[in-house]
Amino acid sequence: MKTNKFAIFAVVLWVVSALVFGWFFVKGNTAAIEGQRDAIVLQPAERELVLLEMRGLLISTQGILAGLDKKDMAQVAQSARASGMASAADVNPALMSKLPMSFKELGMGVHHAMDEIAQDAEAGKPSADILNKLSNTLTSCVACHAAWQLKSE
């Protein structure tokens, strides 16, 4: 009988732990700032890592636009690929758990779109189609920057 109670307690404890982890994974480590964007609260090194990734996306965007201007699809593909899903593969799980789900969804969507832009450039799709896809991708960047700011703990 004692083993049965222990097993039930262990299962209940596991379920509660999973629910708490799930809640934090979806919510992230955020703080509301009155009248402003929500703050994502990170360690200073984590904040710098996220900002570095954002600068990388900006550099890729500039490279894509320069490539389109020169009609150099190899440059477009190379610039887009630099910010594709592979660039997000090694993100620390502890950092990911601090980011709100909607932030993660926007970010992963942007990385996925960069891979699509690279594929379109390699496939020789028209510049106007690639520019349209880049414009749609930047909508996610604008939404993210409008919703959040990164704060250090």
pLDDT in tens, 50-83: 999 999 999 999 999 999 999 999 999 999 999 9
Domains of the chain plus CATH, in order, are: 29-152 (1.20.120)
52: number of Cβ within 10 Å:
9
Cβ-based neighbours of 60, under 8 Å, separated by 6 or more = 79, 80, 82, 83, 114
pLDDT band at 146 (very low <50, low <70, confident <90, very high): very high
What's at 144, amino acid-wise? C
- pTM score, two decimals? 0.79
Helix 44-70, helix 73-81: angle, nearest 10 = 170
Residue whose structure tokens are 């954002």: 54
Q: In the prediction, which pLDDT does 82 show?
A: 97
Q: Is the dihedral of CA 129, 130, 135, 137 positive or negative?
A: positive
